[in-house]
Each structure stands twice: as C-alpha cells, then as structure tokens.
Structure 1
C-alpha cells in the first residue's frame, strides 16, 4: 500500500481523503475530551514479529502434525489446513490431541508471547507520544485481545495489566494515575483464565471485563478497533456479542472505526461496504500511519488552543497581528518563537498566578 504525502493511500480520491480527514479530526476531538476508546488486536504487534493469525496457526499445526518427520505434512498442506480451519478450532485441537489439558498449549503460547522478547514497533512508539497531551493523560484505559505485553512496554511504569482475576485494581489505577491495559482474553499467567479456543471465546465467564467494554461502547464518541482483519476471530466474537450495541451506537451518531490497511482500491471498495454493514467506518491505514495522523490532529488542536490563549493574553484578535507581535517580542527577548510563546503562557504576577 503506497501512502501519499497527506498520509492516506494513493488509491483514495480527493473526496475520500477529505472524508477521512474529517474522521481523524473527530477522533482527535473525542480523544481530547476523554471520549475516545481504543481496542488493539494482533495486527498492532505483527510488525514487532509477534506471531498472529496464519503464523500462529502454523505453529499450532506443526506442534501436533510434524512431530514425526515421516508423516509430517508439507508446507503447502499446512497452508491448506489453515485456510479450512479457524484459528480457535486449531487451538482446540492442540489442547485435545496432546491430552494435557492446557499445559502443552500454555507452554507453546508462553514461548512465543512471553519468553520471547519483542521490540516496540513504529505504531507503539507513536502511540506512546499520544498519552500525555495538554499536560494530562488522554487515555483512561486501553483494551486489547492480545497475549503479548507490548502495550505495557509502550507505556512503561504507568501501565498496569488488568485481567478478570485482578479487575478490582482498575479503580486503584484511577487513584494512582496508572493506565489500565485491559486484556479481554486474559494473559498466560494462568491456564484457566486466557481465551483462545472456540469454547473459550463463547465462555461467558469474563463478565467483569465485558462490563468494562460495554461501558466503553456506551460512552465513547469514537470507538477505534485497530489491528484487526475482516476475518479476525477475536473481532468476529466481539462483533457477535455486541452487535446490538454497535447498531445502537450508529443510531445515536457515535462512531465506531476499524483501522486496517487495504492493498488496493478494489479491496477498499468491497471492505468499505462490508464494514458499513457492520456499523463501522473503515479507515484504510496501518496502525503506525493512523497514530501519526492522529498526532498531527492533536498538534493542530494544541496549536489552535495556544494561539487562542496568546491572543487573549496580548489583547489581539487577528492571526497576522499575533504573528507580528510574537516576532517583535522574540527579537527583543532574543528567544525563538516557541520560547516566546512558552514565556508568555507562563507569565505570572507577584502572587504566582498566571496572568
């Protein structure tokens, strides 16, 4: 997918680009006022080398079918089996064939999601820069269906892993200024709490986390799914469960967005209509490009806010007059324009209050 100078795929026309620019502005505004929610899927971690989708399915199949070299299927046959069987059913087969309940499956997953160390990719690094803005955190929580802990690595010490077993600590996060990373399908710390097989995905036991997700779907002006494909089993299970709520969001003009790249115009046109039928707007970008454009919008909003405050501070109405006055003050103070802005915004009277 080739990206143009404005950040969107080359195959989009001017009208489509204008529409998506409007969507990005709406998402940025929702984020600024605390009404944007984010749910990250496996695609967020793919660029870091974390196995997902077909790669994970291949690891599962090889673990149960390739132990004996004389009977092991060819790579082509493995690919055929992957196309015919959903990932959650293959995981269930691994669990059943090995006859060790979850021990073998957990060990296999732990090796690839916990023991192996992965670096943050460009999407994680850009997301990292969005958290603190206007002097405050913009995200109150982030949802994920991933087993890896790259989101925790992204936000460092301020991140807290939340699963069904420690759900009560979400409120403590609010008090202590921590960012809850809510793992809807659990983590691999315990065999009985993570969800990957078909039985797991239809198990209603994760009620506390699902209530948190329900709350997010109710209150968010912009709910963003990122890192999911059209056939992703995680998205399909969530969509089936929250279909009515997705329809309700559409009725009250609350937008649901799906961020995922499109390879060309044909795929975009087909997918756009499919996602419209799912009550979602498809933004055809990879995660890194999306967060970069979101940051651009935040910078635009921030700059507009700064200029508004400076006009009030200097009793100036006109943008050109403001620029001239800033240039004059910068020359007098021997500051850069940005340093002059900071000086003016932080000016205080004798009591220490900003003036």
Structure 2
C-alpha cells in the first residue's frame, strides 16, 4: 500500500508542488574517506569543543544543554562569539565543503521528481551536484539575499532557493539567532515570497525537523492567516512522534504527516521516494492523455 496521498501525487505531477528538503537528505551523502555531513547537533557539539580555557568547562556544559534542548540557534551564537567568526567559518567549511560530498541516490530521486521549485536551508552544494549531472543550465540556484528570486520563479526554470545561504559565501550564512533576526528584517521580501508560495503551492517537507525556525514561523503564519487553506505534507519516520503530538502539530502547523517505516539508516525513505517517482510518472502519463494539465 502506498504511503503517498493521491492529492500530493497529483500536485507533483502538475508541478504545483514545492520541495523543501533539510539536513536529513544531505546526511545520505559521503565524501572523502566515507565521511558524511554532520547533523546540526553534531556540528555544534564539535564546535563547542574548540572553546579555549579558562571558562571552557562551564561554557561548554551550558552549550551542550542548549543543544540537548534543541535550541541550536542560541548554541551556535554562543559558540561563534567564543571562538570568533574566522575560526567558526573555517570549521563550517571544513565540515560541509572540504570533504567533497557526492550526491546520493536520494538527491537524484528528488531532482527527478521534476519540480520547478525546491527550497533548502542546507548550505552545502550536494543537490546542485546531482542537478549538474543533467548538464549545464539544469538548475538555477538563488540565495535568500538575491533580489531577483521572484523573476526566476516566473521564468520557465528549475530553481533551487537556499534559504540559509551557501557555503561559497560563509559570512552570509544564517546560523544563529542574530542571523535569523537580521535576515527577517533586512530581507523581508524573501519571507513574503515564501509565504506566497505556501498560499499557492503544495509543500512537501523531506529530511526536515518541525523545530526549524523558518519552517515553524512560515507554517504557523499560514495556519492562522489562512485557516481554510489546504494542508501541506511533512515526511517523517514512523516513530518520531506519538499520536497526541502529531495531532497538535498537524493542527497548529496545518500539515499532514506521511510516515515511512523507521529504521536506523532511514533506508525506507529512499525506497518510498522511488515509489513516489514512479507514481508521479504514471500520473503525468494520465494527465497527458486527458489533457488535464
């Protein structure tokens, strides 16, 4: 039995869907010596170990408590303040860029869903690598601070929007609480554009956490500004939330959960996405026959 709702398959087939993918997708990739991109928690824990004495023990203890509580923004800000911008930036590049990560099958499957718009808070370039295998010009990449994103979306282009910045411009990454506040004020038109996409397209979130500040803010605003709007879709492992928590999140964020069978390596996510691709291709054949685009 398919886990994918017919309404979602139809939206993807009609290219009226936006893919929003997070760190859980990048973590499928491997780089030099088989190393994988770290999780946000893993990276911050390593970065905290770079704090020098004499206040290291107490400061690191408080940072680790923040990470455990899921307050990654504050933890990142404390770490960056303690080890300074240059050292923090070098560590980011060493962990997310230098290993030369290769695209994983999941990146290729997501790209082959053939959606016009994808958004990611990831600042690695792995998805672009997957797109590059299709040749030059297969994907246009835009960053949250670019002033021509809306123009690109209106052209017939495949667009990837990097909502937290890109590793090639490490000083403009959105990593901390201050970075978020600054971006929301300095680039408010970008967040207005994301809100417009939520109102006009179906979103599918893959490899993301509901605690991501961008996701929560966008979905909460959508939920209460448009109480009768269509729900979006959030793909997650089957054991991530109990029924009571799912019910609260579904209502407060206006999302439908799509669950795949949980395993330690999340291999079933890739399998289910492969099945989704097949179902979308069949739906596009039917739409073409009926001229029901």
Q: CA-to-partner distance for each residue in 1:4-44, whole Å, 9 max, x for gaps?
A: xx46xxxxxxxxxxxx44x2x21121122231111111111
CA distance in 2, matches of 1:168, 1:143: 15
Correspondent of 1:272 among 229, 236, 246: 246
Residue 212 of structure 1: aligned partner = 193
Deviation at 1:152, TM superposition (A): 0.9
In the alignment, structure 1 residue 128 sits paired with structure 2 residue 111: yes
The structure with the larger Rg is 1
TM-score, normalised on structure 2? 0.78
Secondary structure in 1 matching 2:100: coil
Residue 198 of structure 1: aligned partner = 177
Q: CA-to-partner distance for each residue in 1:112-152, whole Å, 9 max, x for gaps?
A: 11222112223212113222xxxxxxx22211111111111
Q: How does 1:173-192 map to 2 (within 5 A)?
A: 175=155, 178-192=157-171
Residue 68 of structure 2: aligned partner = 83
The answer on whether the counterparts of 2:89 and 2:170 sit within 8 Å (CA) in structure 1 is yes
Residue 284 of structure 1: aligned partner = 259
The answer on whether the counterparts of 1:170 and 1:180 sit within 8 Å (CA) in structure 2 is no
The structure showing larger relative contact order (alpha-carbon pairs under 8 Å, at least 6 residues apart) is 2
Residue 108 of structure 1: aligned partner = 91
Distance 1:171 1:237, change over 3 A: closer
Q: How many residues align?
A: 269
Secondary structure in 2 matching 1:47: coil
Distance 1:43 1:159, change over 3 A: same
The answer on whether the counterparts of 1:249 and 1:255 sit within 8 Å (CA) in structure 2 is no
Structure 2 unaligned spans of 5+: 30-35, 261-265
Distance 1:261 1:219, change over 3 A: same
Residue 352 of structure 1: aligned partner = none
The answer on whether the counterparts of 1:162 and 1:170 sit within 8 Å (CA) in structure 2 is no
In the alignment, structure 1 residue 35 sits paired with structure 2 residue 16: yes
Residue 228 of structure 2: aligned partner = 251
In the alignment, structure 1 residue 62 sits paired with structure 2 residue 49: yes
RMSD between superposed Cα atoms in Å: 3.1
Distance 1:292 1:270, change over 3 A: farther
